[in-house]
């Protein structure tokens, strides 16, 4: 099985405010607090990282439970 390479683009807009996009071609706003020269106008990088980890885990768990024919009502 070969490694999958995913490239993303991240651009700094101003201070601690950035935007990024990946292969889906959807831009995501990323911002920091005013102490880090941001505007607190979007989720920060650590929030997005934790959301991504939670989503990846949730998808994996759902797929495994589906294969086991376990019906999940809520996660």
Per-residue pLDDT of the chain (75 residues; tens, 9 = 90+): 566 878 999 999 999 999 999 999 999 999 999 999 999 999 999 999 999 999 999 999 999 999 999 988 887
How many degrees, rounded to 5, is the angle at CA 72 between CA 67 and CA 75?
Answer: 120
CA distances to 4, 7, 67, 72, 73 from 1, in Å = 9, 19, 21, 30, 33
Give residue 5's pLDDT: 73
Give residue 53's pLDDT: 96
Give residue 31's pLDDT: 97
Two structure tokens written together for 57:
């885990």
Specify the length of the chain in residues.
75
Give residue 12's pLDDT: 97
Answer for the pair 41, 30: CB distance below 8 angstroms, yes or no.
Answer: no
Decide: pTM greater than 0.75. yes
Contacts for 69 with CB less than 8 Å, ≥ 6 apart: none
């Amino acid at each position: 099985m070969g490694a999958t390479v995913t490239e993303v683009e991240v651009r700094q807009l101003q201070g601690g405010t950035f935007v990024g996009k990946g292969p889906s071609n959807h831009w995501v706003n990323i911002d920091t607090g005013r102490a880090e020269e941001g505007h607190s106008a979007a989720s920060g990088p650590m929030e997005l990282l934790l959301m991504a980890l939670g989503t990846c885990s949730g998808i994996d768990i759902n797929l495994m439970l589906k294969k086991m024919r376990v019906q999940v009502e809520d996660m």
